[in-house]
Amino acid sequence: MRIGELATSTGVSVRALRYYEEQSLLIPERSGGGQRHYDEKALDRVQLIQTLYAAGLSSRTILDLLPCVDAKVNTPQSRALLNGERDRITRQIDQLVQVRDRLDAVISASESPASGCLHTDADPR
């Protein structure tokens, strides 16, 4: 499949796919005229890349992680990398849960009837 089809079927932009190639995250074949040609595996690969980006990983980190996910390269370095990123994500989750709890507290306070409503529409004329 060509780049446009991959783009529409994965929901990422054509520019993003070319950027992934720039970052060596997803290298397609080229047909005679120089056009990119992706195989079926590219679909899952793009999804994975998007998920990892969404988790806050950088291109460089993803580039390092992909061989671990793909070929199960199992070196001390790769294990350290995996565990390091896992821990980073766990810390980020903890942070987010903390923020959500804080927001929940504010929300429940604002929903309680005892809350001081300074700017309600009810004008007791």
Q: Which residues bind DNA (CB under 7 A)?
A: 2-5, 7, 12-16, 18-19, 23, 31-36, 50, 53, 57-60
Tell me if 74 contacts a copy of itself by CB under 8 A: yes
| 3-10 vs 41-54: helix crossing angle, rounded to 10 | 50
- 43, 9 contact by CB (below 8 A): yes
Q: What is the C-alpha to C-alpha distance for residues 38 and 40, in angstroms, rounded to an integer?
A: 7
Instruction: Pick what 2 binds: a copy of itself, DNA, none; C-beta below 5 to 8 Å, kind-dependent.
Output: DNA
- Give whichever of 40 and 111 is closer to DNA, judged by the CB atom: 40
Q: Minimum Å distance from CB 31 to a copy of itself? A: 32
- Give whichever of 15 and 86 is closer to a copy of itself, judged by the CB atom: 86
Q: What is the C-alpha to C-alpha distance for residues 48 and 5, in angstroms, rounded to an integer?
A: 18
Q: Minimum Å distance from CB 20 to a copy of itself? A: 17
Q: Minimum Å distance from CB 104 to a copy of itself? A: 7
Q: What angle do CA 47, 58, 36 make, to 5 degrees?
A: 50
Q: Minimum Å distance from CB 95 to DNA? A: 14
Q: 32, 33, 71, 123: which one contacts a copy of itself (CB under 8 A)?
A: 71
- 92, 56 contact by CB (below 8 A): yes
Q: What is the C-alpha to C-alpha distance for residues 93 and 55, in angstroms, rounded to an integer?
A: 10
